A and B are shown apart, each in its own frame.
Chain A
Amino acid sequence: MTAAATVPRQLIPRSDADRAAFKRDLAAVVPHLRAFARGLCGRPDMADDLVQETMLKAWAAQDRFEPGTSMRAWTFVILRNIYLTDMRRNRFRGEYDELVAERILVEPAGQEAPLHLADLHNALLSLPPERREALLLVGAGGFSYEEAAEICGCAVGTIKSRVGRARAALSQMIEAGGVPDADRKGKEAHAAIMDELDMVAAGDGLTEHLR
């Protein structure tokens, strides 16, 4: 084993070129950050606030980014940590807005099957947060189970289980026609999510290396 493998990684000040490269990489993942954030919190305005905070935090912490590793995974960890922290500080609590929710459900509508996507989005938002984020990372973001586990700071088996449960729940909701109604059940789902979020935050919580 080499000495380099056992010595903790040093924070090496970045050159101007490094910073430019970092900024370029960061810019490239911003659309993905927006997609992940929107999937997590369900509201475009809040999602973009999360992205802004993530960009600032990532920029400030850029010395801790290892060139050659995944900027997307690295920034997703930051965004997730900000999201969980904000949620625990009640920032989003009680802010479920039916009108906004209604708008969100229509917004991502594509030209092919808007109703289907709206239902899907609604169903996604009704999932417990830890399952929702696992499914977002693996099923939408294209991360491997290992990468998703790294981002969420939990075991690979846990991610597999969460994804499996999320898939089963979505399949049941969508294929069996049990998608929650945005108007009636949105608040209930939101309350349930808030409850479960406390559990997530207390359990797997924040990934330490980027706090």
Chain B
Amino acid sequence: MAVHGKGRPGGGRKPEWAQGLKKLYDSVVEEPLPDDLAALLARLDEEGKK
């Protein structure tokens, strides 16, 4: 049966993989930032001071 919440999804019975999906996403979120992205952030900062 489809779950149609008001805005915030969820609520019904969640399949086992639903937590895994979140875990996949979170595993990337929790990775250390790669050097090139960190360097880019730093460059943006310098640009902001111009």
Interface residues of A (CB under 8 A from B): 16, 19-20, 23, 26-27, 30-32, 34-36, 38-39, 48, 51-52, 55-56, 59, 108, 110, 113, 116-117, 120-121, 123-124, 135-136, 138-142, 144-146, 160, 163-164, 167, 170-171, 174-175
Contact of B48 among A19, A52, A110, A120 (CB under 8 A): A19
Name B1-50 residues within 8 Å CB distance of A: 2-5, 7-9, 15-18, 20-31, 33-34, 36-37, 40-41, 44-45, 47-49
Closest to A44 in B: B28
12 A-B pairs in the complex with CB atoms less than 8 angstroms apart: A19-B48, A26-B44, A30-B33, A35-B25, A55-B41, A59-B47, A113-B20, A141-B25, A144-B7, A145-B5, A171-B15, A174-B16
Contact of B40 among A19, A52, A108, A171 (CB under 8 A): A52
Contact (Cβ within 8 A) A144 B41: no
Contact of B8 among A34, A113, A116, A144 (CB under 8 A): A144
